[in-house]
Amino acid sequence: MNVLLKKNEIIDLIKQQDESVIFQKPKQTSKSFSVWEHFSLIVVNKIKQETVICDNCKDLLTYRQKDGTTSMAKHFRSCHSDAANARSCLNKQTKVTEYYASSQTLTIPKKIKEKVKIACTEFTALDCR
């Protein structure tokens, strides 16, 4: 019996770290598109699913052999460029310690910490409605 699971069912199995879920790299052939280096097929109970997982961001995409790898290539371009941009931004970002180095360690009184926590909670509750 060939049982294909829905995307959300596969996500649940992955979150539960179910042992029936296997991430499998497809066999590389001379005709294989290089996008497969960044994706894995999902196999559940030895049945290949119509779903692949991005090795970079762990997002699930629908994949059918007859439809090809176009959606995977588009996802990879956006996913890879986002990751590269984030890394380059972090590397270029100036750190506070470059401007200010504290000569002493200050301890913040518990009362002040509690007031800040309450203010943040209030702000979040009112701002997120």
Q: Where are the domains of the chain?
A: 7-76
Average pLDDT, the chain: 82
Q: Find out whether 39 and 72 touch, Cβ atoms under 8 Å.
A: yes
Confidence of residue 121 (pLDDT cuts 50, 70, 90): very high
Strands 21-24 and 47-54, sheet pairing = unpaired
Provide the pLDDT for residue 105.
Answer: 72
Confidence of residue 73 (pLDDT cuts 50, 70, 90): confident
Place of tokens 């052999």: 65
Model pLDDT for residues 2-51, shown as the tens digit of each residue: 688 888 888 888 888 888 898 998 887 766 668 888 899 999 999 899 99
Amino acid at 32: S
Identify the three-state secondary structure at position 43.
Answer: strand
Q: Find out whether 60 and 10 touch, Cβ atoms under 8 Å.
A: yes
Q: Which residues contact 105 (CB under 8 A, 6 or more apart)?
A: none
Confidence of residue 1 (pLDDT cuts 50, 70, 90): low
Amino acid at 97: T
- Would you state the torsion angle of the CA atoms of residues 17, 19, 21, 27, taken in this order, to the nearest 10 degrees? 120
Residue 63 has pLDDT above 60, yes or no: yes
Pick the closest to residue 86 from 106, 111, 56, 59 (CA basis): 56
Provide the pLDDT for residue 71.
Answer: 87
Provide the pLDDT for residue 120.
Answer: 92
